[in-house]
Amino acid sequence: MSKPSSAAALLADNRVGLGCMSFAGAYGDTDQAEAHRTLATAIDLGVTHLDTSNVYGMGRSESVIGAFLKTSPHAFSIATKGGIVPEPVRRFDNSSSHLRKELEGSLRRLGVEHVDLYYVHRREQVRDIEEVTETLAAFVREGKIGGIGFSEIAPSSLSRAVAVHPVMAVQSEYSLWSRQPELGMLQACKELGTTFVAFSPLGRGMLADPVIDTANLGPSDFRRGNPRFKGEDFVRNKAFVERFNAYAKGQGIAASTLALAWVLHQGSQIVAIPGTRTVEHLRRNMDAASVILTADQLAEIEKILPVGWAHGARYSDAQMVGVEGYC
């Protein structure tokens, strides 16, 4: 397995990775065989980065990946996360003892002795980020992880962490309908040499063609509790996206490919990790890495989906807990 030791390593081969939350059924029913077909195709298409977490299906996503790795040679860099305690009441624990226990569990499920990147999934606010960074730095020295990451933190927190140890990556939601990182985080990552990893770069499937039919969402689908997929907010969002889809069709590009290409165009320090459980969607996602957008195309996209167009909050109140605000 490759073991990148710097932010640049995540950018070395392919700026489109694979988010593996879908392998745990967060966006619809799936099974291990389907996930393994997707992973095998990822190898064929040159995907080099997988992103998962210990809480995706309570270890299910990691276990699916681990089962695949036992039988298939690969050159993936693997990132996973810890720090969320989902039950009985969702909370966050960034203590050294907890993160060590969770990392060991992740390594066991993945069937590896080392992951290339380990994120604190949500920051525990009562614990100084400097202390947490020291914990992660110890994991680096022990050879358990290749680099340090944080998810959904503020630029100010990143600056404090980097003063202790280099931070390989920061992960935040970023897409044509979630653009908060433009208000400080993209700039901080560029200045500090940290890779910015855009999760949900396709708006949790909204920025694709055809537009999601919310009536078909399964009972456990994450989007059922998300404001942007409810009621009049969804109706308004759908109208915007249908105009975007029509434009993409006129350009001869799949809507998801165009939306993902837009994300990559926003900065050379950006890696995107669209999640999918199907081979078809994976192929479309990978096409984005080769799309070069013109100034006219970028201007038209901004006209169709201007900053702030999305109706509804990107998370419900319950989903937002743990996300650091900075604007």
Encoding tokens for residue 40? 């095998």
Give one word for 162, left, alpha or beta, with left for phi > 0 and alpha for psi -120 to 50: alpha
Amino acid at 263: V
- Separation CA 36–CA 129 (nearest Å): 36
Which of 56, 118, 119, 247 is an active site residue?
56
- 60 and 28 in contact (C-beta within 8 Å)? no
- Separation CA 162–CA 80 (nearest Å): 20
- Separation CA 245–CA 240 (nearest Å): 9
Burial of 230 (0-12, 13-18, 19+ CB in 10 A): middle
56 assigned to active site: yes
Give Cβ neighbours of residue 218 (< 8 Å, ≥ 6 apart): 28, 29
- Separation CA 289–CA 262 (nearest Å): 10
Q: Which residues are catalytic?
A: 56
